[in-house]
Structure 1
Amino acid sequence: MTGDNQKQAAARRALDFVEDGMKLGIGTGSTAEEFVKLLAERVAGGLKVIGVPTSERTAALAKKLGVPLSNLDDTPHLDLTIDGADELDSQLRLIKGGGGALLREKIVATSSDRMIVIVDASKVVKTLGAFPLPIEVIPFGAVSTAAAIAKIASIYDCHGKIARRCDSYGEPFFTDSNNFIFDCDFGKIPDPDSLARELNLIPGVVETGLFIGIATHALVGTPTGVDMIEPK
């Protein structure tokens, strides 16, 4: 299967975990969008669910396709979140945020009883970090915050360019929560648990794209089918 076919296969397998009456967190990104499309088909066939989207982009797609939506204020406890990832290791640690929704994605995921990650095989890595780590920061003092990020990262043997994300017009990218994102091109992250903990202590850092201890399962589309990664 091609990469797109693998995404579709993982998304379709995720539907097996969706039960009638569930309150679902719905992720952001290309694989999550495949899930939304398949979910919409099930909803049209009579499946009763309520979705809580992790971004305005996901909300717009779900609304267009007829998936009933809510928000965490009205629906604060979710049964299941299904979302993609930019990288995934064998311990179910993730890098997320390539689509710029990492803060909302983490809030939704941690409001859920379970989080299932859907990815194609190219996203599974031995060591996190080849995909630049997104870190969401408030705009005030962002240069100072970036310097603090670099200092902490170096302690954990993470080195590389740290750049503020720009949009397609070369202007600063803003998240749905009106924050900046710095993309950290570390190459490898030897100790993601400690790095995540220390980065979150920096004033100005809102959240990191390191999702540690949040995902409960992963469904990986491969050339021959869908594999499941479970907690060790």
Structure 2
Amino acid sequence: MKTIIDAALAMLRPHMTISLGGGSNVSKLAQEIATVHNLPLTICTPSELTKLKCEQLGLSVSPLSQITSVDFAFDGCDSADYQLNLLKSNGGIHTLEKIYAQTATEYIILTPFSRIKPQLDHRVPLTLEVLADAVSQVLQLTSHLGLKAQQRKDQTVASFARTPNGNRLIDCYAVSWQNIENLNFELRQFNGVVGTSYFSNTATAIITTLDNKEVKLIRKGDLK
């Protein structure tokens, strides 16, 4: 039976340049790429864990500074709406993922169909990457905007979570993300906010598995 990973792999051609983001589906795609012979690719990644996975599989990873363009950037998401807007919050590397996405001709999301809804899932936070000195001010702003927010704690050590850039993460929750465009705009403009986990008009396609097990590539306008 064809899978999301099979569909992504079928898009690749020799000598393409691809970016592999974070998440379990991207990790599975890396595993499949490593098994294919005669498919030379240039690979880059915004994820330290994906870089390690690729190296363990014998796949060479190039720094983005050596790459001028990317054919396909593959990534996962925590929530997507019918307009292909995304929340990519749990991994905490959204700022780097946006940099790689903007380099790509196609930014393709690999995700279960259960994560695609008419509106973004309010249970998934809007996550902010914030300079440490600005945390208290940003928390005041989120309260003013009617959001419930908290600084993310590290799950392995007694410390706050930090991004690869050394910054803090603030998770913001709302009753609904119907107004996320305006909220995101207000937050992005605030000094000390480095980036947010809301990806608006960034994804060009989603590869998913429908309820009937059919693998489908969805583009903007396909879902009503």
The one of 6, 17, 22 aligned to 1:12:
6
Q: In structure 1, what is the Cα distance between the partners aligned to 2:42 and 2:214?
A: 29
Task: Give the aligned partner of residue 38 of structure 1.
Answer: 32
Q: In structure 1, what is the Cα distance between the partners aligned to 2:210 and 2:35?
A: 24
Deviation at 1:201, TM superposition (A): 0.5
| Partner amino acid, structure 1, of 2:114 | S
Task: Give the aligned partner of residue 167 of structure 1.
Answer: 154
Q: In structure 2, what is the Cα distance between the partners aligned to 1:108 and 1:150?
A: 31
Task: Give the aligned partner of residue 228 of structure 1.
Answer: 217
3-state SS in 2 of match to 1:24? strand
Gaps of 5+ in 1: 2-7
Task: Give the aligned partner of residue 26 of structure 1.
Answer: 20
Gaps of 5+ in 2: none
Deviation by residue 1:97-126 (Cα, 9 ceiling, x = unmatched): 311111111110111111010001221122
Contact preservation (8 Å) 2:89, 2:125: no
List structure 1 runs of 4+ shifted beyond 3 angstroms: none
The one of 190, 194, 205 aligned to 2:193:
205
Q: In structure 1, what is the Cα distance between the partners aligned to 2:29 and 2:175?
A: 29
Higher deviation after alignment, 165-174 or 49-58 = 165-174
Change (3 A) 1:184 1:65: same
Q: In structure 1, what is the Cα distance between the partners aligned to 2:89 and 2:30?
A: 18
Deviation at 1:24, TM superposition (A): 0.7
- Matching of residue 83 in structure 1 with residue 64 in structure 2: no
Instruction: Give me the CA root mean square deviation.
Output: 1.7
Task: Give the aligned partner of residue 57 of structure 2.
Answer: 65
Task: Give the aligned partner of residue 149 of structure 1.
Answer: 142
Deviation at 1:131, TM superposition (A): 0.9
Contact preservation (8 Å) 2:14, 2:38: no
Higher deviation after alignment, 126-135 or 79-88 = 126-135
Task: Give the aligned partner of residue 74 of structure 1.
Answer: 66
Residues paired across the two proteins, number: 218
Contact preservation (8 Å) 1:90, 1:229: no
**What aligned pairs does 1:68-217 form with structure 2 within 5 A after superposition?**
68-128=60-120, 129-151=122-144, 153-154=145-146, 159=147, 161-168=148-155, 169-217=157-205
| Partner amino acid, structure 1, of 2:182 | S
3-state SS in 1 of match to 2:3? helix
Contact preservation (8 Å) 1:87, 1:123: yes
Identity of aligned residues (%): 26
